[in-house]
Each structure stands twice: as C-alpha cells, then as structure tokens.
C-alpha cells in the first residue's frame, strides 16, 4: 500500500475544498486513477432526519446510514459501501466536527488497508527517519521543534501514517500545547503566549472548566510547518522507532525491545488517543448491522499491521526526565549510508 495512491477525496462545495485540502494535503494527491478508498463530501441545504433510529443524543441511523449532530443542530450523514464513503453535511456545520469525521475515516481506512496511523512525532530526511511515540507530555513536539532549526529536515507531529517502511506526516501543522508554547515563545505571537500563560494559571481551576464548557481553547495552538522556513513535511524512511517514558529520575536509558512488545505498546497508546475514532466506528458498524466484536477485530488488525511494519525496524524504549532530542537530530543530519 502506498498512502499517496490510497485516498481520493471529492468535495462538492468550493468553500470547503480549501478547508479539507489544507487539512489533508500531505497524504492526498489529486485526480487518482485507481484509489483504494474513495471519499465523497457534499454540502446540502437540509438532511432528512425523519424515521431515524436514535442511538444517543449525538448519533442516529436509518437505512444503513449513520447520522451525527455537531451539538448545534447541524447534521452530517456517513454512508459506507465497501471502500466508498459518502459524507453529506448541512451548511454551517462546525468545521472541526466535519474534519474530525474525515480524519477518522482516513485513519480507519489506512489500518484496514494494511497500514498504520501512529500517535507520534517524526523527524527525518531522505536517508533516515526516526519515529517517536509516547503519551502526551513526554517531549514529542519538542523533538519536532528542535529539528525545525535544521535545513532540509522533514517533520510530522501528533499523528503519522506508515506504509511500506515509509513515514507520511498526516498534517502540515505542529500542535503546540501550552507548555510547548511557553518554551518556544519566539515561534508564536504575544496573544498566544498570553493564552498559554493564562491556561497554565487556570489549569484545573473553576474558571478553566468554564472556558472548556464554552469551547474556548487556551491549552494548545497550531503552527503551520511551512512557517518554520527550515522545515518541510515530506515522506521519510522508517529507520528507527522509540517509545519514550517520562521519568522523575535524571537518567537517559535506551533498551532495545522485541517487535511484538513494541507493537503491543503502540496499540495501547493508539487506543488511549483514539476515543472519537473508535466511537464513530462503533456506531458505523451498528448502522450497518455488522455482527461480532468489531473492536477486538479492528485492534487486532492494528497490532498485526504493527508487527509486520516494525519487523525489521530498530525499536527501543527510552526512559529519562527529558528526551534527548539533540542526539537523534544530529544522527539524522550526519547520517552516512
């Protein structure tokens, strides 16, 4: 499977074409002759919601089509026919809601076609690529920001797709949490610095919870990789993969681990970070009246793919108070085949 020849997205509305193209430009090419997965996206004036079978306050289904509400009364429908997805949505639907659904479709299709989508950061060049996995706050984004200081380095943040021993950055943005922003104030504007500082002060407090209820995001900001003029967002080879565990001790230990153990760890991490994806897949299967424990089958598929993909890759666990980003960036910059 080659990611570049996997997806074809047709968008029937001009206003949303640029939105979707900007979100998925790194993994989708135009006018594919034989894509494995076809996704058609249409904006409609109104979606008929009569006769729906209600699942909960957000999801319903009818005639093997799943209907979702964005919480503001706008409806989206998702129809699946083999490898063809048809997504229809009412005008005015929340952009992040639409993009989240497409994001979930792309992730699940990648896995079903034998690839992987990994919660990770990626740094590499044409010769050598390093994938860093781990739970939030271990230093994945700091790894990317460290590499962005070098010319010609390719980076990917938050989620990366893997196929044929290649790493495909899923988006051309870096997701900077408030702590990343406060440690890299030179990359963001004064307002975003103030937002991040405010979130740090409100973290866990009553006012902070009010902001969350109002969907006012202070804890993270996105920065376009192209604005970091030294970095790019190209495909790189999968040469090495590290899962990092943060430790209170000031140590830096690397332990090589077996392929199947590494696959188990990143599968667990995928489950932890993919609640919205698994929820959508659960309801799609319900709408299509699929029988059996689809969740176990899907996650077993993920782990099987991981075992195959990481079979000949140098995998290791790393422990320490701070991930040694500079070591791996230097390794990539100075790689000699």
pLDDT attached to residue 131: 96
Q: 144 exposed, middle or buried (CB, 10 Å; 0-12, 13-18, 19+)?
A: buried
Contact, 236 vs 122, CB < 8 A? yes
- pLDDT at res. 47: 92
DSSP three-state, residue 212: helix
Q: Could you list the pLDDT tens digit for every one of the 337 residues in the chain?
A: 456 567 777 787 667 888 888 788 777 765 444 567 788 899 888 999 899 999 888 899 998 999 999 878 899 999 998 888 999 999 888 888 898 899 999 999 889 889 999 999 999 999 999 999 998 878 888 888 888 888 888 999 889 999 888 999 988 877 766 666 666 666 666 666 666 666 666 665 555 555 555 555 545 556 666 666 677 888 899 999 999 988 777 667 778 888 889 999 999 999 998 988 888 888 898 888 877 777 888 999 999 999 999 998 999 999 888 888 889 999 998 886 6
Can you tell me whether residue 234 is helix, strand or coil? coil
CA angle, residues 227, 230, 236, in degrees to nearest 5: 105
| Cα-only R_g, the chain | 21
> In this structure, is the dihedral angle defined by the CA atoms of residues 329, 271, 179 and 168, taken in order, positive or negative?
positive
For 152-192, write each residue's pLDDT tens digit: 889 998 899 998 889 999 888 777 666 666 666 666 666 66
Q: Based on the number of CB atoms within 10 Å of its own CB, is 5 exposed (0-12), middle (13-18) or buried (19 or more)?
A: middle
Look up residue 212 and give its two tokens: 């969350």
């Amino acid at each position: 499977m080659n990611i570049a020849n996997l997806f074809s997205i047709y968008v029937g509305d001009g206003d949303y074409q640029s939105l979707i193209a900007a979100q998925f430009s790194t993994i989708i090419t135009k006018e594919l002759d034989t894509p494995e997965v076809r996704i058609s996206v249409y904006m409609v004036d109104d979606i008929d919601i009569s006769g729906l079978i209600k699942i909960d306050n957000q999801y319903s289904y009818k005639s093997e089509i799943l209907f979702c509400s964005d919480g503001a009364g706008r409806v989206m429908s998702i129809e699946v026919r083999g490898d063809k997805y048809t997504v229809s949505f009412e005008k005015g639907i929340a952009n992040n809601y639409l993009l989240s659904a497409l994001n979930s479709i792309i992730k699940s299709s990648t896995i079903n076609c034998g690839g992987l989508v990994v919660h990770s950061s990626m740094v590499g060049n044409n010769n050598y690529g390093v994938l860093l996995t781990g739970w939030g706050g271990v230093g994945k984004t700091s790894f990317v920001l460290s590499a962005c200081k070098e010319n010609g380095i390719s980076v990917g943040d938050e989620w990366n797709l893997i196929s044929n021993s290649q790493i495909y950055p899923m988006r051309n943005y870096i997701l900077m949490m408030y702590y990343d922003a406060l440690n890299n104030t030179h990359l963001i504007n004064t307002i975003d610095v103030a937002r991040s500082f405010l979130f740090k002060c409100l973290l866990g407090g009553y006012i902070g919870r009010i902001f969350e209820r109002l969907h006012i995001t202070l804890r993270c900001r996105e920065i376009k990789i192209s604005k970091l003029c030294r970095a790019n967002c190209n495909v790189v080879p999968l040469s090495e993969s590290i899962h990092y565990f943060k430790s209170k001790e000031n140590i830096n230990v690397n332990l090589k681990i077996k392929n199947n153990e590494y696959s188990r760890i990143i599968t667990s991490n995928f489950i932890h970070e993919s609640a919205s994806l698994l929820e959508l897949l659960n309801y799609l299967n319900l709408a299509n009246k699929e029988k059996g424990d689809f969740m176990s089958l899907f996650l077993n598929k993920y782990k099987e793919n991981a075992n195959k993909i990481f079979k000949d890759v140098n995998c290791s666990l790393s422990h320490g108070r701070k991930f040694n980003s500079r070591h791996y960036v230097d390794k990539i910059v100075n790689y000699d085949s």
